[in-house]
Chain A
Amino acid sequence: MLRALALWAVMPVLAAALVLTLYRIVRGPSAPDRVVALDLLTVVVIGMIAAYEVATDQPVYLDVAITLALVSFLGTIAFARYVERGR
């Protein structure tokens, strides 16, 4: 039962969050908006991974979550540095 709940209740909520983030990525007037949205996208994905792990009772995706967290932070930093330099 828990597995169904995780899959059919939590996932749609995250999917909705995903769509909202994408809206901001596409429409975001200024560059930093898009960067923030991308950052949020990472968190949504981490959420998805967590839900998926519970749903499939497989802890193996945690490493993916860690990598994602580490590496997306870097993306944001690079963006920030680029935005600061103008253009």
Chain B
Amino acid sequence: MPSLILSTAARYLLPLLLLFSVFLLLRGHDEPGGGFVGGLVGAAAFVLVGIAAGVDQARRLLRVDPRAALAAGLLLAVASGLPGVALGRPFLTGWWVTLPVAGGAKLGTPLLFDLAVYLVVLGAALTIVFALMEE
């Protein structure tokens, strides 16, 4: 018996939560945050939808199966280590490139790795929660 109030609140809260989660992820390198907590907050957002509107709605909203996110995360993590090897340095060495856009914003493999961690944490948490939620 999902309560009407909760689902409406969820509809407003979800974007805020997701925004905050990505915000935490991207800021992780300089300010407190990072892949782990970002992933957790992201998972919390979808759990909220799960509770408010039921698991199927949450799965539809996620559009991709949590286990796929899990796998993609792990793959990305390993992939982000490869450029280091390509440069003859040990596996997972950081490699940075300064993008011309936004005043020389720097994009580096550690950020990719952080994103990978985000995906894995999100995937794992949702896999578990959705599995438990399913009747």
Contacts and interface: CB of A to CB of B under 8 A. Distances in A.
A/B: CB atoms within 8 Å of each other:
yes
B1 A66 contact: no
A84 B1 contact: yes
Interface in B1-50: 1, 6, 17, 20, 24, 31-33, 37, 40-41, 44, 47-48
A64 interface: yes
A71 B1 contact: no
B11 to A, nearest CB: 14
Interface in B38-88: 40-41, 44, 47-48, 51-52
Contacts of A60: 31-32
Contacts of A84: 1
A77 B1 CA distance: 13
A70 B31 CA distance: 19
B51 A71 contact: no
A57 interface: no
Contact of B47 (A64, A66, A67, A74): A74
B37 A67 contact: yes
B32 A63 contact: yes
Contacts of B31: 60, 63
Interface of B: 1, 6, 17, 20, 24, 31-33, 37, 40-41, 44, 47-48, 51-52
